[in-house]
Amino acid sequence: MGADLAEVSVELEVLQQRMGSIERELREEREESAPQIEQMSDSKLLEELIRERTYALVMANKELEAFNYTITHDLSVPLHSIDGFSEALEEDYGKQLDDVAKDYLWRIRKGVKSLRKLLDDLQYLSQVMCKELCWENHDLSAMTEKSIIALQALEPERRVTVDIQPKMVLRGDVGLLNLMLENLLDNAWKFTKKSKESHIEVGCINNEEKSEDTVYYVKDNGAGFDMHFSDRLFMPFHRLHRETEFEGQGIGLATVERIIRRHGGRIWGEGEVNGGATFYFVMPPQSEGGSRGFRY
């Protein structure tokens, strides 16, 4: 089952890279051709080129949809059977089992639950690349406040200092942007849990001359990571820390990377073992706006 899941992850990565490449080529062709459109006596060639690229993107989407069905059906059905029969075994014969057998049974059910979660995450990750985007300007500062309040409500005993830069605006699809931000903040929240004085900072670095060069960042003083393995940060199911140290499926940052790439942006990370981590990302140009900043 582990090998099957690894193959599924590789296949998904190939499909998503193909879709991303087609989208980039289509966008670049439109941008490069725009100044010449008025000068062209016959625009049929350009229209045909755009049609071909659009068709290729549609076909890639259909292939990804078929891949989703494979995940939800071909892999989920046997997992459901394993879980059902192991539950029946526990209910009907539990009293006849010794402690060792009960432990084996518990491990089986725990493994099934973990695999189900992995499949759900993988399916959702693939859907991120298919969703049609609704482009609007959004108050990133307010969105960050809301996400931090939700995290604090889950662990009211924790004391985490959070600095949020005011008047940050981000353009994109509100649902995906929220999901991106939640994953970045959840990542920072999780990896600072062993810090004596946990601190998270969310802000942006503006280029006065080129608004498209605005760099947003989420910074923490948590466990950090070894930069030698930075190429694995955004790969599905690749973890840089043991699960016994920090819980998780290794899907959060992969989701973040795909959402940002889906918007035409890019993300990278910098970190140091036990020295915290910072994730930077650049998105398409945004207009002015925002909200008040605050500090916990």
- Between β-strands 169-172 and 136-139, what pairing exists: parallel, antiparallel or unpaired? antiparallel
Beta bridge partners of residue 200, listed in sequence order: 162, 220
Query: pLDDT digit string (tens) for 168-187?
Result: 999 999 989 999 999 999 99
Three-state SS letters, the chain: CHHHHHHHHHHHHHHHHHHHHHHHHHHHHHHHHHHHHHHCCCCHHHHHHHHHHHHHHHHHHHHHHHHHHHHHHHHHHHHHHHHHHHHHHHHHHHHHCCHHHHHHHHHHHHHHHHHHHHHHHHHHHHHHCCCCCCCEEEEHHHHHHHHHHHHHHHCCCCCEEEEECCCCEEEECHHHHHHHHHHHHHHHHHHCCCCCCEEEEEEEECCCCCHHHCEEEEEECCCCCCHHHHHHCCCCCCCCCCCCCCCCCCCHHHHHHHHHHHCCCEEEEEECCCCCEEEEEECCCCCCCCCCCEEC
Indicate if 165 and 109 belong to the same structural domain: no
Tokens of 26: 């289509």
Whether residues 85 and 222 fall in one domain:
no
What pLDDT sits at residue 23? 62
pLDDT of residue 71: 67
**Mean per-residue pLDDT of the chain:** 79
Residue 287 corresponds to which amino acid? Answer: S
Grade residue 295 by pLDDT with cuts at 50, 70 and 90: very low
For residues 107 and 37, membership in a common domain is answered with yes
In a shared domain, residues 62 and 167: no
pLDDT band, residue 216 (cuts 50/70/90)? very high
Report residue 206: phi and psi, to 5°.
-95, 140
pLDDT the model gives residue 284: 72
Number of Cα atoms under 13 Å in the Cβ half of residue 10: 6
Spatial contact of 216 and 168, defined as CB atoms under 8 Å apart: yes
Per residue in 240-289, pLDDT tens? Answer: 666 656 566 678 898 899 899 889 899 999 999 999 999 999 987 643 33
Lowest model confidence (mean pLDDT) among 2-16, 66-80, 147-161: 2-16
Do 227 and 141 have their domain in common?
yes
132 HSE (CA, 13 A, CB side): 1
Say what the alpha-carbon torsion angle 138, 139, 144, 150 is, to the nearest 10 degrees: -80
Mean pLDDT over residues 79-95, rounded? 89
Q: Compute the average pLDDT of residues 47-68.
A: 73
19 and 44 within one domain = yes
Domain boundary (99, 128, 157) is at 128
CATH number of the domain within which 289 lies: 3.30.565.10
In sequence order, what are the residues at sequence separation of 6 or more whose Cβ sits closer than 8 angstroms to the Cβ of residue 34? none
Percentage of the chain with pLDDT > 70?
68
232 and 164 in a single domain? The answer is yes
The pair of structure tokens assigned to 193 is: 């849990």
| Range(s) of the domain holding residue 28 | 2-128
- Domains: count for the chain: 2
**Rounded distance, CA 252 to CA 122, Å?**
11
Between CA 17 and CA 149 the distance in angstroms is: 35
151/72 same-domain check? no
